[in-house]
Amino acid sequence: MRKKFIVGNWKMNQDLASIDSFFNELSLGSCTCETWVAPQALHISTVIEKSSKAGKSFFVGAQNISENSNGAFTGENSAETLQDLGATFALVGHSERRSLYKEDHALLNKKLMHALSQNLIVVFCVGEQLEERKNGMTEAVIKYQLLEGLKNFPTDQLSQSRLIIAYEPVWAIGTGEVASPAQAQEVHHFIRKTLTKDLDLDGDNTPILYGGSVKPSNADGLLSQMDIDGALVGGASLLGEDFSKLAQIASKLMK
């Protein structure tokens, strides 16, 4: 059985006081699912420190990384430095990076390959726009994002254990609009098949997370689907109380 994950994407939110409150509210108790969080890069060290003091098995990662190795790249965050700080993963291809920062398939592929070369786990995000869904293009769009983004992905086991896919329909991100469990399951199944058939990867063992307006009230329906291995959560991951509820739901489904 695949593990379940709750991965928080804090985006450009949280200050030191709200990070404190997050950890004060956090109550993971007997949770057995993976609990990860991607704060702003500037807060990564703080969050790593607080999470270890809180005694939780909690992984911290970045929302974005440079495609380059350390060097003259003013303003960028390097995978090497993340490693150095104790971060373990990076999101690549979040729809806000694709749309607001014009990150294209080739750049995302470079970021992914560079993160992998630095032993980071990559959470690679894909998802269709509302227009694309309405025009029946969901599968074609997702397949293209996977084929381009994961081009030349090494097929060895260690590299494959460092890949997580997040399916985030763009129309469901931060909108309160959520894919139905059946809609999400259908795409997750398609992603798994595409990884295996078109990319020669181990689709059956690759965690595939759903993202887009996940909250404690809708998580159970989504996470109980066969091909949904957890959630990438924005808004509802900011408060320790909601994050804990999500982790409890995910953990219960692992039993």
Q: Please report how close the Cβ of residue 84 comes to ligand PGA at its closest, in angstroms.
A: 26
Q: Which helix (H) or strand (E) holds 203?
A: none
Between residues 81 and 183, which has the closer beta carbon with respect to ligand PGA? 183
What separation in angstroms does the CA of 229 have from each of 32, 166, 188? Answer: 13, 10, 9
To ligand PGA, the closest distance from the beta carbon of 221 in angstroms equals 15
Nearer residue to ligand PGA within complex by CB, 154 or 221? 221
| CA atoms of 224 and 185, how far apart (whole Å) | 10
Task: Determine the Cα–Cα distance for residues 217 and 60; give it in Å rounded to an integer.
Answer: 25
What residues contact residue 159 under an 8 Å CB cut-off, 6+ apart?
Answer: 116, 153
Residue in 94, 114, 128, 188 annotated catalytic: 94
Q: Which is nearer to ligand PGA, 203 or 235 (CB)?
A: 235
Kindly name the residue from 34, 128, 168, 188 that is annotated as catalytic.
168
Residue 114 appears among annotated catalytic residues: no
Which runs of consecutive H residues, i.e. helices, occur in 54-93?
79-85
Question: Residue 79 or 170: which CB sits closer to ligand PGA?
Answer: 170
Output the smallest distance, CB 242 to ligand PGA, in A.
Answer: 10
Helix axis angle, 216-223 to 181-199, nearest 10°: 50
168 noted as active-site residue: yes
Tell the smallest beta-carbon distance from residue 40 to ligand PGA (Å).
14
Question: Which of 42, 55, 56 is CA-nearest to residue 6?
Answer: 56
Residues that bind ligand PGA in the complex, under the rule CB under 6 A? 9, 168, 173-174, 211-214, 232-236
CB of 109 within 8 A of CB of 148? Answer: yes
Q: Which residue is nearest to ligand PGA (CB)?
A: 234
Residues involved in catalysis: 94, 168
